[in-house]
Amino acid sequence: MMRKAASLAAVVLLASACSATRLEGTYPGGGPLIPETNFALTPGTTIQLEKLVNWGLYVGVAYLILDPWAPNWNIEQAGFPDDHFHLSMQMKRYYIGGAGEARSVFHRRAKELARAGGFDGYEVVEYQESLESSVLGSQRSATGVIRLTGKRFG
């Protein structure tokens, strides 16, 4: 989330810098926006600037969609009386690996809640996994209810 905000801020700053400069007439003036330039990578290998820019755009878009540094699961929790908690988890829509880790993520969060609340353990009251389909692709989700058990210490 922080990276997306930083990316948005950079785009806004660049756009404001462009708007401070007054462009008159048509741009580019009669030629292509990206000049026909070749980069010599080795003595026998060259690459066109246009292809380099296109590849950079493809990689940038793929990075924004996949966002490899974002966590795979988004967890929302709600506390209820009698030391019960409802956990609702959704996986990223586009991911690379981690499709079978819902149960382990659920248990990891339950252990964190038990430790933070000063309980010895927890009991799974209800647990369910599902796969929600949409036009943009399927998305894994899991929901469950836990009850914190054991005496409170601390």
- DSSP letters along 20-86, please? HSPP-S-SSSSS-SS---EEEEETTEEEEHHHHHHHHHHHHHHHHHH-TTS-SEEEEEEEETTTEEE
The pLDDT-based confidence of 18 (bands split at 50, 70, 90) is: low
Q: Is the pLDDT of residue 56 over 70?
A: yes
pLDDT computed for residue 41 by the predictor:
82
Mean pLDDT score, 25-34: 67
Q: Is the pLDDT of residue 111 over 90?
A: yes
Mean pLDDT score, 59-66: 82
| Beta strands 121-132; 84-91: pairing state | unpaired
First-to-last C-alpha distance (Å) of the chain: 35
Q: Is the pLDDT of residue 55 over 60?
A: yes
Q: Is the pLDDT of residue 82 over 90?
A: no
Q: For residue 51, what are the CA distances in angstroms to 43, 55, 60, 70?
A: 19, 6, 14, 29
Model confidence pLDDT, tens digit, residues 128-142 = 999 888 787 788 899
CA pair distance 37, 46, nearest whole angstrom = 10
CA pair distance 9, 143, nearest whole angstrom = 35
Q: Is the pLDDT of residue 81 over 80?
A: yes
Tokens coding 25:
């007439």
Supply angle C-alpha 84, 89, 91, rounded to 5: 170
Backbone angles phi, psi at 85, to 5 degrees: -135, 140
Lowest-pLDDT choice from 50-54, 69-73, 108-112, 115-119: 69-73
Q: Is the pLDDT of residue 114 over 90?
A: yes
Q: Is the pLDDT of residue 5 over 70?
A: no
Mean pLDDT score, 8-29: 58
CA pair distance 71, 97, nearest whole angstrom = 12
CA pair distance 29, 42, nearest whole angstrom = 32
